[in-house]
Every structure is written in C-alpha cells, then in structure tokens.
Structure 1
Amino acid sequence: MQLIGNIVARHKQGEQIGVTSVCSAHPLVIEATFAHALRHDTPVVLIEATSNQVNQDGGYTGMVPTDFRRFVEAIADRTGFPLERLALGGDHLGPNAWTSLPADAAMAKAEIMIADYVRAGFSKIHLDCSMSCADDPSPLPERQIAERAARLCRVAEDAYTGDAADAPVYVIGTEVPVPGGAAEDLETLALTTPEAALATLDMHRDLFAERGLDAAWNRVIATVVQPGVEFDHMKVVDYRPEAAAELSAAIVPVDHIVFEAHSTDYQSAAALGALIRDHFAILKVGPGVTFALREALWALDAIERETVEASERANLRDVTLARMKAEPANWRKYYHETGKALDLQLQYSLSDRIRYYWPDPAIAAAQAKLFDTLRTYVPPLPLLSQYLPVAYAAVRAGTATLDPIDLIVAHIGATLDAYHGACYRDA
C-alpha cells in the first residue's frame, strides 16, 4: 500500500500517528534524516522537493526530478536505509517557478513538471496553483486556483503507469507563504476558518469530478491550512490548540483527508505533538533542519578557531558571509538591515536564507577544508561539550564518532527527535 496513504489511513482510524515531511535538498540533512530513522526504526521517511528546488529546468539545485530521486536514493544506499521505506514528495507543484510568464505559458510549464515528478516516482504530490501569473489578478480567485489544480491532477493521473495500489496521493490547498518563506516580519497571523477549509475541499471535489478524477479524489490525503504556526526572521508563532479547536474538529468527519501543516519549523515538541493530536497529521519542516545544520557548521568553525593555527584554518563562517554579500540575490528582498544587524540576519535568521548558499563552490571548498582540518586536529571533548552538547552526548554514548559529519548528523537529529516523538508517540 502507498506509504504515506497508509499513515493517513491509520490516523483517520483513530491512531495518534503522523508523518514528518523533510523538505531539503542538502545531503547532510538527508543523511541525518536517514540515520535518525534507522536509529528509531521509523517506518516511513518522506523527503520532499519544492517546485523551485527541482523542476524540468533544474531549479536552484540544478536537479530535475529523476536527478533528485537518484540523489536521495544514493544517500539512502550509503546509510543503509531501505528504499522500500522511502517516499518522495513534490511540494507546491504548480506555476510558482514561472509566475513571470503569462498564465497559459506558466501552466504549460507546470504540466511538464508534474508529469516529470510522477514519472520519476514521486508518490506524494502537492497541487498548488495559488500564485498569480503575469497576466492574472492578485489574489487569484479561489475557483481558478482549484480549476488549475484539477487540471494538473489530470496530467499527473495520465502520467502514472504503475500499479494502482501505488498510485500518487495528493495534497491540495495552501494557506502559507510561497515557497522560500514570507518576505516580511510577522505582524498578525490569521488561522484558516473551518468554513474556508471545508469550502476548499468541496470546490476541489466538484472540479475533480467534472474532469473524471473521482478515483484521484479518493487519493487526496490532505489539505494545507494555517493552524496558527509560523516564523519570521527572529521570532516564532507557537501553536495554540484552543485557537485551532474548531478547525481541528472540522476535518474529523471528512473521509480519508487530514490537514497538512507547513512552517512547523521551531515549534516545541509539545506543540508538534498537539498538532498531530489535532489532525494536522503531516508536519512539514525545512528551514528548521537546515538551521540546525548551520548551527553545527558554525560550532565546528568555532572549535577550529580555538584549536587550529590561523594559517591552517578553513574560516568557513567568514567565507560564507563574504559570498552571501557578494551574491545577495537570495536574501536581498528578505533582509533589510545594514552593518552588524545585517550580519546577524544573514547568519541567524530563522528563515535561514543561508541554505541557498551551501552549494557555492567557494563555500563548499571551505566546508571540505574544515572537515579535513578537524579530522587532523580532532576536537577535544571539552570543546565538543561547549559548542555541540548534543553531539557530545552522542559521542559519549557511543552512537557518534568525532568525525565532523557524524557530529553534524547527531546535532540535526535533535531537531528530528521532536518530530518523531510527535508522529510516533506510542512507539
């Protein structure tokens, strides 16, 4: 049976169970995800690519859907994670990457992308046509959003040629910032109303039926809503179950569909558990895990500064800041400070725009040199305790070595612990 569909079915039958969707294309994040799943015997790992990361034009990763699948599966093979427990998803699949084009041209590109994702074996497809194209009104009318989603679903169904039991499952709706995050600080955050959530479902159901997509509708497993969780550069809006109680109750009588919550990054373990309990059974995390990656890399940089002569250091942190300032396209519209305040945003913003820069050749070379240096000058335990206490505990417990990659994987694992505890509370 379809891996993610099975988890959702169990949730709808009353189990307090859910699935974590890790939205990242960074190899160390993906390796940490597999290592964590092996340690906890997690039954399903869901890795998702967004439409701006991976598409037929390469996205910002340079990968098309088949490339991304091979990339993830190679990491799974290297870590020993069984492929039969791996599910791949496509997030915000629609015209988002081509909104500068007229709608007809953008949707034609989106159709190619959807078909490519399905043919590449992605089994969870988020149909998101909420963004306005060059000749569209803004905001786009809800019916037009749903019509475009149904159009893309038709393409996906036609592209799938495998066993019916493994046919793609779908997610509809969007109540979140566009892929990449909100551009401004949060002032207010409006929850999706129960009426709006149910109206979205009704509209999509009717339009799917008009296109002969009744079988596909039975594989719609989730709708994206805003349960009251979000973050901006420096603060987090925490989940308040009492505020979302009516929204939570609204999905209970709806067959085979749960809520999907985006922007759950930085929520507490208790909040994540409450989200699963309240039927937000798919929890998306992206910047939260790459933020943990950056924390670990900065900690290793600090250890290098304390243990290695200046002439031999990689200076990863300095190199990264210099490259970000030299190539500001990925952060300019998000960060508006200057001087030291800008340095703080570039490094520590919760939106984690730094994640777009790790593939930069100069930064990648500095990271490789840092790893080599710390393999020569092995971090002493007291400094590990100072800068990477979670990894220190893993080393002391014998579940991690002093290799830099092991230390990073252990640190990212602490973020994943909260998600695993929420999704598999009884495990």
Structure 2
Amino acid sequence: MKVTLEELKKYRTRGNPKEITSVCSAHPLVLKAALRLGRDNTSNVLIEATCNQVNHYGGYTGMKPHDFATLVFSLAKEEKCPEDLIILGGDHLGPNPWKHLPANKAMDEAEKMVVAYIDAGFRKIHIDTSMGCQGEPMALDDQVVSQRAVRLIKAAEEAAAKSDKKKPFYIIGTEVPPPGGADHVITSLEPTKAEAAAQTLKIHQDALCAIGLEEVTHRLLGLVVQPGVEYGNWDIIYYDREKAKTLSNSLDTESNLVFEAHSTDYQGVHYLSQLVEDGYAILKVGPELTFAVRECLFALDHIASEVFSDYPDRYLQKNIEQLMLAKPDYWNSHYHGSEHECYLLRHYSLSDRIRYYWADPKANEYVTTLLSKIKGATIPAPLMMQYLPGAEHFFKNSFEPEEVIIWYVQRVLKTYHKACYLD
C-alpha cells in the first residue's frame, strides 16, 4: 500500500494514522533491502542522506546529492522497484559540517548544499540550523534558528523554481537528537514540551510569511520533536507514551502537521506502533540497519572461519579492527574507556560507528574476500543455527551471502512495516 508524504496528515486526521519509514543509510545492501521491501509490498521507499554523509563536496561517502540519487535509482532498477515508489530526502541539512567556521561562511556552504539536494531531485528536506557555529553557543534560540532555516528554505524554493522538479516538503524543529545517537550513558529523556513545539512552529511560519513565503507554510510537513526515545552505546530508552501524552495530544490542534521522530532505532514493533498511533508519522532509522549488516557479516566471518581451514580466524573482524585503529577519526571522540572497552565499542556499540568504514577500499576488499570465499559453499545447518538463528533455510541452496545480509536487514525494516499497519 502506498502512503505518500502528502497523505500522512490526512490519515492522522481521519483517525487511521500511517507511517513512512525513513531509511537513513548509504550502504548498498541496506538500500537494496529497503527497495526490495517496497517493491514486494508496493509501498513508498523513503531514503534519506545526511549532510555529513552526502553534500556538495562529497561528504564522508564521497557522494554528492546527484551521485546518491544515481546510486539509489540504479539499485532500484536492479531490484525492479518502480521509481514512482521512491522518495529522496535530505537529513539535517544546515551548517553542521562547517560549524567550525564563522556562521556566515557556514551558512553559505549550507545554502550551496541545499541547492545541490534540490537540483538532484530530493523532495523531503529536513532543515536543521539548531547548532552554533564558531564563537557561538552549542545550541541557539528559536529566533536565530528560524532566520537561518528560512534562508535555506528560500534558497531551496528558488532552486526548485528554476528546475522542473516538484516543490519540496520541509521538516523543521529545534529539538533534534544528535545524528547517529548519543555517545554517553543515558537513563531517561524528557519529551519536548508541547508549548515549545507550538512556539517553534509559529516562529518559523511567521519568519516565512515575513519574506513572502506564506505558500511554503502549507508545505511544512512535519516537526522534529523528542518523544523520549534514544539510544547510546549500550543503552536504549524506549517510548513511554504516557510521558509523551501532552506532546502527542498537541497535534490535535495542528491538522496540517505530523511529528518526525529521530533515533527510533532498536525500539521494536511494540513501541514503533505506539509512536505511529500517537502521530509520529515519519520514523527515522539508520544505525540499526547497518548494525544488522555488521552483525550478519561478523556471523558469516565466524562461519567461514569454522568451515574453511584456509580462511584465517575472524579474518574480516580482525582486519576491520586494524583499519579502525589506523583511521580513528570516526570513533575516537565518541568512544571512551579502557583499551578493551573501546575495542568492544568499536565493534558492538549500538551507535555503530563502524558503518563509516564499510566504504573504505580496504574494508571493501576484506568484505569481498569473505563473501567470495563463502559464496556457493555448502554450509551445515547447525552452523547457521549457531551464528544466524532463523536463517537455516539458506543452507539448502547454493549459498548467496548477499541474500542472507539483505534478509537480515529486512528483519529490522519489517518491524517498521508492521508498525505502520501495512502487514
């Protein structure tokens, strides 16, 4: 069943809320899993790229927005997923990658990035200008945030007007969780206050009207709020709907709005379903999907170590460890503790910062070695039961490791699929 961005508000106001899962990943196997699920269920596939991951300089993936769009649609063709099911989104678009610069320079770069996203056909644009730049406090007040957000929206509108692209929808909000999850121990979270959410919306609406962009207020699709869900390296804070009741009920006075929830990874179908029922119509997931990729790859690594006498013990895991030690920039400011504690975090943290390394040529070489070794092999069912419970059916056929990984990622995606009443 297709549920488009335009329809999300309609379903909520009719008392039959639906949800669109926002897949925030550039990993090809994650993208394949999402596209295949969309194809099989004729449901929309919302795929988002973040400002650090993909921008006009290439981001940490080396891809500009046009490159990312090309990748998604080429994989869609491979998976026979109809293009009209695909929605591209930009996540946390703002000055974050350049916040070490003075605000005016950081915003100049953010503006160029937003235009690049629009030119590449991205239709769902999350504007995030909540962070301070050089010499500013870490968090900014709503007035400054809204002025900067409106500047980026204006640039996006001008870019869309010059092209044949459909007009974008916007997500705004100042209470934005850190991309990729928290990096400290968390025990509880307070949901966004309803009055703060209402104030944020009004300030942005007023700022748009002040520069003649009143029409855009009707394309403010959603507001990012904190419903009280998050995860750290080892911790998960599950949704407490009673705690968030006042915030959720505030949507009753905003018929043209839905809430967007970030960091919904690891919540499971029970809590995801409650979020959908309570008006959180866009649920973002990313690290849980690449965590599943890592989990499956390490399991296959163990299986190969057991089955093949000429395959080094845990070849992939040990080589990835050396790569992460040689290039520590993606994890060393996030993981703290003893040498062994940092080792455990590098490989098993829920924030899954190992995901930044899979695109590295050396990591790709290690993964290719593993998958080539195990492809077509006869894997004893008990080994599948030991390392990949539930995947025993794969041992009966000529073994296709990529199919196992896609199946494993889809197990996560299907919890979101169930939560939006599509099963």
TM over 0.5: yes
TM-score normalised by length of structure 2: 0.95
Kindly state the Cα deviation for residue 96 of structure 1 after the two structures are TM-superposed. Answer: 0.6
Query: For residue 359 of structure 2, what is the amino acid of its counterpart?
Result: P
Assess, with a 3 A threshold, how the Cα gap between structure 1 residues 380 and 100 changes in structure 2: closer, same or farther. Answer: same
Q: Establish whether residue 410 from structure 1 lines up as the match of residue 407 from structure 2.
A: yes
Q: 1:305 offset after TM fit, Å?
A: 1.0
Work out the CA distance in 2 between the residues paired with 1:2 and 1:241. Answer: 24
| Range 16-25 or range 172-181, more displaced | 172-181
- Unaligned residue ranges in structure 1 (runs of 5+): none
**In the alignment, is the contact (CA less than 8 A) between 2:230 and 2:264 conserved in 1?**
yes
Secondary structure of 2:375's aligned partner = helix
Map 1:196-211 onto structure 2 (within 5 A): 196-211=196-211
Pick closer, same or farther for the CA change 1:179–1:389 going to 2, 3 Å.
Answer: same
Give the 5 Å matches for 1:247-262: 247-262=247-262
2:7 aligns with 6
Distance 2:42 2:131 in 1: 35
Asked whether the 8 Å contact 2:33–2:409 carries over to 1, the reply is yes
Q: Distance in 2 between matches of 1:292 and 1:142?
A: 37
1:48 partner SS: strand
Secondary structure of residue in 2 paired with 1:283: strand
Matched residue, 2:87: 87
Distance 1:268 1:2 in 2: 21
3-state SS of paired residue (2:253)? coil
User: Residue 376 and residue 85 in structure 1: after superposition, are their counterparts in 2 closer, same or farther (change >3 A)?
Assistant: closer
Name the stretch that deviates more: 75-84 or 163-172. 163-172
1:316 aligns to what SS in structure 2? helix
Mapping 1:320-331, distance limit 5 Å: 320-331=320-331
Query: Which residue of structure 1 lines up, in the alignment, with residue 336 of structure 2?
Result: 336
Matches within 5 A, 1:45-60: 45-60=45-60
CA gap of 1:154–1:361, structure 2 versus 1, over 3 A, is: same
- DSSP 3-state at the match of 2:297: helix
- Secondary structure, counterpart of 1:222 in structure 2: strand
| CA–CA distance in structure 2, aligned partners of residues 365 and 332 of structure 1 | 24
Q: Pick closer, same or farther for the CA change 1:45–1:426 going to 2, 3 Å.
A: closer
Match of 2:297 in 1: 297
Give, as a single letter, the amino acid of the residue that structure 2 aligns with 1:420: H
Query: What's 1:269 paired with?
Result: 269
- Deviation of 1:255 after TM superposition, in Å, equals 2.7
**Same amino acid, percent of matched pairs:** 42
Q: Shift of residue 2 of structure 1?
A: 9.8
Letter in 2 for 1:413: Q
**Closer, same or farther in 2 for the Cα pair 1:12/1:401, shift >3 Å?**
farther
Q: What residue is the counterpart of 2:418 in the other structure?
A: 421
Is 2:122–2:168's contact at 8 Å kept on the other side of the alignment?
yes
Q: 2:10 corresponds to which letter in structure 1?
A: A
> 1:37–1:313: structure 2 CA closer, same or farther, 3 Å change rule?
farther
Residue aligned with 1:223, SS: strand
Structure 2 counterpart SS, 1:191: coil
1:278 aligns with 2:275: no
* Paired amino acid for 2:7: N
Q: Distance in 2 between matches of 1:187 and 1:75?
A: 40
- Kindly provide the CA deviation profile for residues 255-274 of structure 1, in whole angstroms up to 9, marking residues without a partner as x: 32110000000002110000
**Secondary structure, aligned partner of 2:391:** helix
For 1:20, the equivalent position in structure 2 comes to 21
* Equivalent AA in structure 2 for residue 299 of structure 1: A
The equivalent of 2:186 in structure 1 is: 186
How far 1:151 sits from its partner (Å)?
1.0
Contact 2:259–2:279 (Cα < 8 Å) also in 1: yes
Q: Which amino acid in structure 2 is aligned with residue 113 of structure 1?
A: M
305-314 vs 207-216, which deviates more?
A: 305-314
CA contact (8 A) 1:2 1:165 kept: no
Matched, 1:74 2:74: yes
Match of 2:214 in 1: 214
Q: What value does the CA root-mean-square deviation take over the aligned residues?
A: 2.0
Between the aligned partners of 2:181 and 2:274, the Cα distance in structure 1 is 23
2:127 and 2:149 in contact (8 A); partners too: yes
2:18 partner amino acid? I
In the TM superposition, residue 278 of structure 1 has moved relative to its aligned partner by: 0.2
Specify the SS of the correspondent of 2:46.
strand
Change (3 A) 1:341 1:165: closer
Report the residue type matching 1:379 in the other structure.
Answer: I
Shifted more, 309-318 versus 189-198: the winner is 309-318
Q: Is the 8 A contact 1:192 1:227 kept in 2?
A: yes
Equivalence for 1:238? 238
Asked if structure 2 preserves the Cα contact closer than 8 Å seen for 1:147 and 1:207, the reply is yes
CA–CA distance in 1 between the matches of 2:412 and 2:364?
24
**Aligned 8 A contact 1:52 1:179 in 2:** no
Q: Aligned partners of 1:392 and 1:4: how far apart in 2?
A: 38
**In structure 2, the residue corresponding to 1:390 is in which secondary structure?**
coil
Q: Report the TM-score when normalising by structure 1.
A: 0.94
Equivalent residue of 1:189, what SS? coil
Paired AA for residue 27 in structure 2: H
Moved over 4 A (4+): 162-165, 311-314
Deviations 1:200-222 (A, max 9, x none): 11111111111111111101110
Is 2:30 the counterpart of 1:33?
no
Is the aligned partner of 1:351 residue 2:348? no
Return the offset for 1:191: 1.2
Aligned mates of 1:364, 1:297 — CA distance in 2: 12
The code of the aligned residue for 2:109 comes to K
Superposed CA deviations along residues 323-364 of structure 1, whole A, max 9, x for unmatched, are: 111111100111112232222111110010100011122211
- Unmatched segments (≥5 aa) in structure 2: none
In 1, Cα distance between equivalents of 2:245 and 2:3: 30
Q: Do the aligned partners of 1:308 and 1:377 also contact (CA within 8 Å) in 2?
A: no
In the alignment, the residues of structure 2 paired with residue 119 and residue 401 of structure 1 have an alpha-carbon distance, to the nearest angstrom, of 43
**In 2, Cα distance between the equivalents of 1:163 and 1:277?**
37
CA distance in 2, matches of 1:281, 1:48: 15
Aligned CA distance change for structure 1 residues 16 and 164 (closer, same or farther; 3 Å): farther
